[in-house]
């Protein structure tokens, strides 16, 4: 009888069968496929191997968290770490699903120690750990016993990055947020990494064509590696459904499923625009508390992210609505079916994600006009950015005047407009506004 048949009939899985399952997921007696190397994430997480603190790796499902951790483990092995000093546990493994408790975690770890009796530092990866209630007690218990152990913990809940878990683990975490592929990574996955480095002006036709693909289908690794457009779109729809049904409905035990699904569709239909509970109440006949709760769920599972209005007054900041951005442009296009008419908003969404990948806290600001993005260093405004797919005579004055207003307000000497067209500079009253083609901006490192 197979393991899955035993589970079906409620027959307990014994220790040797658990080891058999763990053998499949680990490098103990085999090599595992590690995919296209995502250097920035893998190198940073490898650097953290020396830290005692647990490394939290969180992001939307299918963004590549597990693959990145496998790349880190492969690098550890290549650097001399014995294979038996590594334990990888995937909690989405069907065999484990009926047993997801702290006691089961302890059982797995004890079995691993009995099998190998590893010497020196061990590396333990707990993949999709939010599926195990109370997992932090297991991690804290091993730390409190002063074991020479390094934890890598992945999950699709933003709560893993919060101070709440830092407190429960007595501050022993280092946070890492993983996004779907950046455009530069997208090029690497397509073996076109050098195109952006060689780009001039508007970029070559090949580069622009690839950027349009990125705008349309986004950066989920499996989608990028899939050839047929029909298949890409189906995978994206499946991802969206999985996030809604598994990460929100099941995790938070939503009762009014129809209302939640309508809310999320409406949220995606309005990326790069304003959201408030009051507006949701008017649009969807949904109460403000319910709308705010649903938005929080969507943020917690990384379906969307938000930008706050910038003000030095917290009260004033919270009096303004959020701006909402999808975690991936492909996911937005799979749901909205309004690609061509909304390309300007998708373009703004891409710039927002590029800033967030750099770890920036991103705000918007409104005076007489609106500035799409502000970033800051400490209390000082660092950057002012507007985003415009096509800068022309109809919108140039609006884009420039809103930046000039903000430059005066915050005493900033220069600002930027990111466009799909040309590079230029404009000087207004002693202040400089740089107009950057998206490829130039990305090549500069998003400055």
DSSP letters for 74-95 = HHHHHTT--GGGEEEEETT-GG
- The secondary structure of residue 43, as a DSSP letter, is H
Radius of gyration, alpha carbons of the chain = 24
Q: Could you tell me the pLDDT band of residue 144, with boundaries at 50, 70 and 90?
A: confident
Q: What is the pLDDT of residue 38?
A: 97
At 383 the three-state DSSP class reads: strand
| Among the ranges given (2-11, 270-279, 340-349), the one the predictor scored with the smallest mean pLDDT | 2-11
- 126 backbone dihedrals φ, ψ, rounded to 5°: -110, 105
Q: Could you tell me the pLDDT band of residue 8, with boundaries at 50, 70 and 90?
A: very low
At 196 the three-state DSSP class reads: coil
- Span 202-208, mean pLDDT? 89
Q: What is the pLDDT of residue 9?
A: 37
- Report strand pairing: 414-419 vs 370-377: unpaired
Q: Is the pLDDT of residue 7 over 80?
A: no
CA neighbor of 368 nearest in space, from 403, 328, 395: 403
Q: What is the pTM of this model?
A: 0.93
- The secondary structure of residue 320, as a DSSP letter, is S
Share of the chain above pLDDT 70, in %: 94
The C-alpha atoms of residue 440 and residue 25 are separated, in whole angstroms, by 42
Q: What is the pLDDT of residue 422?
A: 86
CATH 2.40.110.10, applies to 3-178? no
Q: Is the pLDDT of residue 432 over 60?
A: yes
**Cα angle at 38 between 140 and 376, to 5 degrees?**
75
- Span 16-31, mean pLDDT? 94
Q: What is the pLDDT of residue 428?
A: 87
- The answer to whether the CB of 270 falls within 8 A of the CB of 324 is yes
CA neighbor of 211 nearest in space, from 444, 441, 445: 441
| Among the ranges given (66-75, 300-309, 390-399), the one the predictor scored with the smallest mean pLDDT | 390-399
Q: Could you tell me the pLDDT band of residue 340, with boundaries at 50, 70 and 90?
A: low
- Within 8 A by CB and 6+ apart from 108, the residues are 18, 22, 87, 89
Identify the residue with better confidence: 379 or 45. Answer: 45
Structural domain boundaries in the chain: 3-178, 185-443
Q: Is the pLDDT of residue 170 over 70?
A: no
């Amino acid at each position: 009888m197979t393991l899955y048949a035993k589970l079906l009939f409620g027959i307990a899985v014994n220790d040797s069968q658990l080891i058999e399952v763990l053998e499949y997921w680990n490098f103990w007696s085999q090599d595992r496929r590690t995919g296209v190397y995502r250097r920035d994430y893998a190198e940073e997480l490898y650097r953290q191997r020396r830290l005692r603190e647990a490394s939290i790796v969180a992001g939307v499902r299918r963004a590549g968290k597990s693959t990145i951790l496998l790349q880190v483990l492969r690098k550890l092995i290549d650097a001399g770490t014995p294979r038996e000093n590594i334990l990888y546990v995937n909690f989405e493994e069907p065999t484990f699903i009926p047993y997801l408790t702290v006691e089961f975690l302890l059982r797995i770890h004890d079995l691993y120690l009995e099998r190998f009796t590893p010497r020196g530092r061990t590396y333990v990866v707990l993949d999709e750990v939010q599926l195990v209630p109370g997992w932090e007690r297991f991690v804290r218990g091993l730390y409190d016993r002063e074991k020479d152990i390094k934890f890598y913990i992945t999950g699709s809940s933003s709560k893993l990055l919060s101070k709440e878990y830092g407190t429960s683990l007595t501050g022993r975490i280092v946070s890492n947020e993983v996004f779907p592929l950046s455009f530069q990574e997208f090029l690497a996955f397509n073996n076109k990494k050098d195109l952006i480095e060689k780009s001039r002006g508007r970029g070559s036709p090949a580069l622009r064509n690839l950027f349009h693909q990125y705008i349309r289908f986004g950066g989920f690794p499996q989608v990028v590696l899939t050839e047929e457009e029909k298949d890409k779109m189906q995978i994206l729809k499946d991802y969206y459904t999985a996030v809604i049904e598994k990460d929100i409905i099941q995790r938070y035990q939503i009762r009014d499923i129809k209302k939640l699904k309508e809310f999320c569709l409406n949220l995606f239909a309005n990326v790069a625009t304003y959201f408030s509970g009051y507006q949701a109440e008017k649009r969807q006949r949904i109460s403000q508390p319910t709308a705010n709760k649903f938005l929080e769920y969507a943020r917690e599972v990384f379906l969307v992210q938000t930008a706050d209005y910038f003000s030095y007054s917290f009260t004033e900041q919270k009096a303004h609505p959020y701006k909402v951005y999808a975690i991936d442009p492909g996911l937005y296009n799979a749901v909205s079916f309004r690609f061509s008419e909304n390309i300007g908003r998708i373009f703004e969404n891409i710039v927002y994600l590029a800033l967030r990948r750099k770890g920036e806290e991103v705000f918007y600001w409104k005076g007489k006009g609106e500035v799409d993005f502000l970033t800051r260093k400490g209390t000082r405004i660092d950057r002012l950015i507007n985003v415009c797919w096509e800068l022309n005579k109809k919108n140039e004055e609006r884009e420039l005047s809103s930046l000039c207003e903000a430059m005066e307000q915050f005493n900033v000497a220069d600002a930027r407009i990111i466009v799909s067209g040309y590079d230029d500079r404009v000087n207004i009253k002693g202040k400089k506004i740089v107009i950057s083609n998206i490829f130039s901006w990305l090549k500069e490192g998003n400055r």
